[in-house]
Structures are given as C-alpha cells and as structure tokens.
Amino acid sequence: MDSGKVKFFLAEVLRNFSRNTGMQVTAIGTVAITIVLLGLFLFVRAAIADAGRQLLDEISVSAYLRTDVTPLQVRAIAHFLAQDPRVASVQYVPKKQGLAELRERTKGTIDVALLTENPLPDKFRIKARVADDVPAIAASVRRLSGVDNVVYGQKIVQRLLQLGAVLRRISIAVIVVFVAVAGIIIANTIRLTVFARRREIAIMQLVGATNTYIRLPFICEGLLDGLIGALVATVLLAIARAALWPRLLEALPWAQLTVVPVDGRLLTLELFAVGAAIGVLASWVSVGRHLRT
C-alpha cells in the first residue's frame, strides 16, 4: 500500500471533518440523542422481556389427580411427563405436602388447623422449558387417566405471551422510526458538506476521479458522525444508569425482584452498529444524489 496515498486520504477526511465543526456537532448530537432514546428503549424492552420471562418461569402447571387414582396411574403419569421433551421438571406433591405448603403460604391470614380433614388432592407440579409450551403441556396432561383437573393460570400466560408479541412489533416500529429520523438528519448534514465542497467535487469529476473515490471521504465522514454519536450516547447511558439505577430500585422495590440486569456489552455493540449503519447509509444516499446530477 502506498503510504502517501493513505496519508492524503486521511488528511482529506480530517480536514473536511474539522472544517464544518458546527454541522458535525449537530449531526453527532442528533445521532447521540437518537441512540440514547434507542438505548433507553432497548434497555426497557430487554428489562420487560426478562421480567416477563421470569414471570413465565414462575408459572407451573398443576395437574390435580382424582381421589381414586391408583399408584399405577400415578407412575404412568410420572413416566409420561418424564418422556416429554418440553417439560423441564416434574414434582409429585402428595396431599399432605400440599397442605403443609398451603399452611405456609396462608400463615397469619387463615388458620388451616381449623380444617378437620385434608381437602386437597394429590398433584403433579410441572414446569415447562419454554413458556410458550405451557398450554400444550396442560392439554396433553389433561387427557391422561387419573388426572382430574389441570390448572396453570391460563389467563396470565396468554396475556404475557400476547404482550410479548405486541411489544416486539411496537419495538420494531419504534426502532425503524428512530433510525429513519437520525438517518435523515445525517443525510442533510452530509448534503450541506457536499454543498460546501461542490467546487472541489466538480474539480475532482473534471480531472477524472471516479465516483467511488469522490464518495469515500463523505462516507467516512458519515461513519465518523455515527460512531462518535454512538460513543456519546453510550457514555450518557452509562452515566444515567449508574446515577439512576440505585434510586430506581429504592423507589420501586419490586423492580429488584423482577428486573434482571441487561447485558450492557451486547447493548453497546448494538448501539455502535446502529450508529455506524445510520452514518454510512445516510451519507451514501446523500452524496449519490449529488453525483448523479
């Protein structure tokens, strides 16, 4: 590689970048704001998704057995469930243990000791590997002989699954809008720099520079805008998280229980990728339009 050529190219990019400081700051600021919003959004989405997953994880299927169930039937049911690949764990809860758990759960509110006999049937407590499979598992268990009734909080599971689907759709729409807005603003910024450099571009075209060559510095400029914007946004997000997270946990104690920490490294990587993509695409379109006229 010709080091002189590289030096010339880098000098051109830096010169252009530093020449229109005001414009660059605007572009970088816009990208940063967009990415902060996007980051908050992704963060909240991931937190909600994790919370939902955790809630779903809590949900177990309770298969209550008939009072006249035979030990053979119990063993058959246990065997059937152990074979099912969708099932994560199966626990047999005899009625004695069920009553003990009930007593524990209702401590201080109801005195279970008032009961003269145990009204609870024996049951299986089944956990699914994936929350989406819960309804299907429940349906298959209900068909087995010896099973009286199956309960799994149908409404909650269905609501959560629906919420997840809606959330995914909304989040895609919101991300598209954010990225489009940032892209338009970068494109406009690059268009201004293209306009400021139109003499230079005309001369480059005149002496036979290829469009790719003319385009490259602007693409680098857009990339730089996007990456610096992403960097600023990431720093702001990190600061916000460090400053606000403890206070949030203080204000909302339940958040501590339900919200799992989001993977910050992956999020950062995503934000940088988004910033770079916005910058490159926007400047490509913007310069391309100029070169064709």
Residue 114 within binding range of another protein, rule CB under 8 A: no
CB of 8 to another protein, least distance (A): 5
Which of these segments, 30-38, 79-87, 93-101, 198-206, binds another protein (CB under 8 A)?
198-206
CB of 13 to another protein, least distance (A): 13
Q: Where are the alpha helices (DSSP H) in the chain?
A: 3-19, 21-58, 71-83, 95-105, 134-142, 154-196, 198-206, 211-251, 253-258, 264-292
Which of these segments, 56-64, 71-79, 200-208, 241-249, binds another protein (CB under 8 A)?
200-208
Nearer Cβ to another protein (8/245)? 8
Nearer Cβ to another protein (134/219)? 219
CA 112 to chain centre: 44
Nearer Cβ to another protein (16/34)? 16
Nearer Cβ to another protein (214/228)? 214
CB of 282 to another protein, least distance (A): 23
Which of these segments, 2-10, 110-118, 137-145, 240-248, binds another protein (CB under 8 A)?
2-10
Question: For 239-264, b where at least 16 C-beta lie within 10 A, e where not — what string?
Answer: eebeeeeeeeeeeeeeeeeebeebee
Q: Which of 205, 252, 260, 269 binds another protein (CB under 8 A)?
A: 205
Residue 143 within binding range of another protein, rule CB under 8 A: no
Record the tokens describing residue 203, joined without a space: 């001369």
Is residue 36 within 8 Å of 236, Cβ to Cβ?
yes
Find all residues with CB under 8 Å of 150, minimum gap 6, and list them.
61, 62, 63, 64, 138, 141, 142
DSSP 129: S
Residue 14 within binding range of another protein, rule CB under 8 A: no
Q: Which of 3, 21, 83, 293 binds another protein (CB under 8 A)?
A: 3
Record the tokens describing residue 79, joined without a space: 């065997």
Q: Which of 4, 71, 85, 108 binds another protein (CB under 8 A)?
A: 4
Q: How far apart are CA 264 and CA 239, in angstroms?
A: 13
Q: How far apart are CA 88 and CA 130, in angstroms?
A: 8
Q: How far apart are CA 58 and CA 134, in angstroms?
A: 12
Q: Which of residues 148-167 bind another protein (CB under 8 A)?
A: none
Residue 202 within binding range of another protein, rule CB under 8 A: yes
Taking alpha carbons only, the member of 157, 154, 92 closest to residue 126 is 92
Q: Which of residues 209-238 bind another protein (CB under 8 A)?
A: 209-211, 213-214
CB of 217 to another protein, least distance (A): 10
Record the tokens describing residue 209, joined without a space: 């520079």
CB of 192 to another protein, least distance (A): 17
CB of 252 to another protein, least distance (A): 57
Residue 204 backbone class (left: φ over 0; alpha: ψ -120 to 50; beta: rest): alpha
Q: Count interface residues toward another protein (CB under 8 A).
A: 19
What is the four-CA torsion angle of 238, 242, 244, 248, rounded to 10 degrees?
120
Nearer Cβ to another protein (204/236)? 204
Residues that bind another protein (CB under 8 A): 2-5, 8, 199-200, 202-211, 213-214
